[in-house]
Structure 1
């Protein structure tokens, strides 16, 4: 099997970087993007703010205590989504195969291309192009698989680049904290720490049977990563899975009120699925089927989101656009695509914290009692 050449590219403090591009006067200052009230959450922060101990997912009140002179910005998801698409478009033009892993990171598979040019030099030139044309900082790691490439990126941030060749993989990984392993959560870290395992080298000394006894299949996966083994492919961006649902009516209908209510119910269900998968969507499609079996679809690109309200509004707007013949309808469907990994707080910029807290509370009820345990009042009496 040929040696793999995987590049991981990650924007440095992406949301902050976009804000600095809009307002260069903020450069060099402690900037925090996220909820501005004490009950809000830090979504991103500049490296100047990080020196005071501020980090993402920290309550804004705590961040303000650590760095009283920080500049808080509520954020602009439209601008961040636009910048993300700009970066993706540049990468798409220049590489044979890439995966958009989140709003601000990409994996690029250059395997086989080393026969024609130096992959490290190519990655360096691509990075320079992005920074020069888009005025956004970016770091990258190049290695033999996705896990090591991502860890290489994290090791050289901010504004860095690092190549970890096959013969260097284990020596690079061994001294790192197990915290650095992608996908290792708080519970796994606590379990391993309680057993005296703090560094990757110590983890590599554990027998597979013992790891399986401690953590099951996940433990074996962590052990593989600690040994620099990761066979997961770079998934072409165009093939990213979507989430959707559709409903065929018992009787063909022209009841617009009923259909709009149904759209609310459908979007609420799939938006919950989206959040459970820790995904964001940038595209929504509404499909209808007329009584004569003609299918018509309409889609729209939207700022990255996972919240019901924005998606419901867009679904209703798309239905208005797609339903033109005033004929009876047999079916309506909604699909969310262009999915990337992300976190719910990204939508906190556009919604009040009360709305956001309500959504979180409803999701907790759904997880405990089932998806249908709580819903919007408007769809309670829905009959189709």
Structure 2
């Protein structure tokens, strides 16, 4: 295993990704306060331009609040299909050139270029890659280069907008030291407030707190914070494979042609693996539906979709695929659903047209499922009537809304 000194990790982040794509499609938006998100009073801001940020606007802020802060801001509803296509375009550029890369979200990448300095120079190679991405995609992108993923990510944030920054080996602590504690990844408002109550304002102060004391304050999270504050991160770059997937299938006890029952099963399976996506903080970019008939002939059909993990959006696509696929009208032995082309991300970015209530509903449902199990709360159409129980192994469930 390479030592930290031998490692060279680049973190690349497409600047204001959604906003940049919108500006690429409409150049009149350049240099203006732009908000991407739903247009209703109850919608939230999914992304905003740097010009909008000067008014105190940030992502996840209620759109109504954002427009009070900046009444002349321009609002775009968002085009997840365009964003997904651009993300795939940049991924292909990186995959063609990088020895080992990880797609950590729709607009972020880690690249392990350890050993590259012996041939081209790590900084030169990453700089050339950045230029290629900007030239071929037309989008601004920043990068940080360091000995580990943590420091490279923080360096990228400091290099924005549209810049680059290298942190040499041995300079990790001095680079992090003057930064506010919120600059450390995974330090949210609650953690920051807890640390500030104890007089910890900067990363330097955090790094000087005895690790045993931090553990007493925050448990294992305290140990992790101490390591981050000291620039320690041995997390490897995890190779990205497009075929990585989450799937489920059900072989029926009795072959069936009952469309109502199969529809309910599609709802159940889609809901199950969509919940798994959200648990893992991932989005899917491809859906596959599988049918096995009673004569054992197996057929599948798939479609690429804008990155998403919301039940109601995924279910619509699953039903569309099933309708196209089920054309023999024979008894069915098995059906399955698979989500692939996974990237990191949360459901807020795919719910541009949904209100705060819809986002809150998903959060509340997932909290209940986390506590009692995913089958405890399900959609109304997923409930199998008593007369069809012989077709299913389904447990007792509580329906929450009908699809």
For residues 275-326 of structure 1, the C-alpha deviation after alignment (integer angstroms, 9 at most, x for no partner) is 2332211111222333344543332211011111221122122223444554
Does residue 1:39 correspond to 2:5, yes or no? Answer: no
Write out aligned runs for 1:1-384 (5 A): 1-2=2-3, 3-238=6-241, 241-351=244-354, 355-356=358-359, 358-367=361-370, 369-381=372-384, 383=389, 384=392
Q: 1:142 to 1:113 in 2, by over 3 A?
A: same
Quote the Cα distance in structure 1 between the aligned partners of 2:201 and 2:362: 37
Which stretch has the larger CA shift, 223-232 or 326-335? 326-335
Q: 1:9 to 1:240 in 2, by over 3 A?
A: farther
For residues 66-98 of structure 1, the C-alpha deviation after alignment (integer angstroms, 9 at most, x for no partner) is 111111111111111111111111111111111
Tell me, yes or no, if the aligned pair for 1:38 and 1:62 is still in contact at 8 Å. Answer: no
Quote the Cα distance in structure 1 between the aligned partners of 2:353 and 2:383: 27
Partner SS, residue 337 of structure 2: strand
Normalized against structure 2, the TM-score is what? Answer: 0.89
Quote the Cα distance in structure 2 between the aligned partners of 1:189 and 1:303: 34
Quote the Cα distance in structure 2 between the aligned partners of 1:226 and 1:128: 31
Tell me, yes or no, if the aligned pair for 1:153 and 1:162 is still in contact at 8 Å. Answer: yes
Shift, 1:208, TM fit: 2.2
Q: 1:197 to 1:351 in 2, by over 3 A?
A: closer
For residues 234-285 of structure 1, the C-alpha deviation after alignment (integer angstroms, 9 at most, x for no partner) is 1111077532222121112233332122001111122122223322111112
Normalized against structure 1, the TM-score is what? Answer: 0.94
Q: 1:210 to 1:358 in 2, by over 3 A?
A: closer
Quote the Cα distance in structure 2 between the aligned partners of 1:21 and 1:312: 31
For residues 12-41 of structure 1, the C-alpha deviation after alignment (integer angstroms, 9 at most, x for no partner) is 111010010000011111111112233211
For residues 136-162 of structure 1, the C-alpha deviation after alignment (integer angstroms, 9 at most, x for no partner) is 111000111111100000011001100
Q: 1:226 to 1:370 in 2, by over 3 A?
A: same
Which stretch has the larger CA shift, 308-317 or 138-147? 308-317
Partner SS, residue 121 of structure 1: helix
Specify every segment of 5 or more residues in structure 1 that has no aligned partner in the other structure, as ranges.
Answer: none
Partner SS, residue 184 of structure 1: coil
Tell me, yes or no, if the aligned pair for 2:9 and 2:148 is still in contact at 8 Å. Answer: yes
Quote the Cα distance in structure 2 between the aligned partners of 1:294 and 1:190: 59
Partner SS, residue 238 of structure 1: coil
Specify every segment of 5 or more residues in structure 2 that has no aligned partner in the other structure, as ranges.
Answer: 393-403
Which stretch has the larger CA shift, 262-271 or 292-301? 292-301
Q: 1:184 to 1:355 in 2, by over 3 A?
A: closer
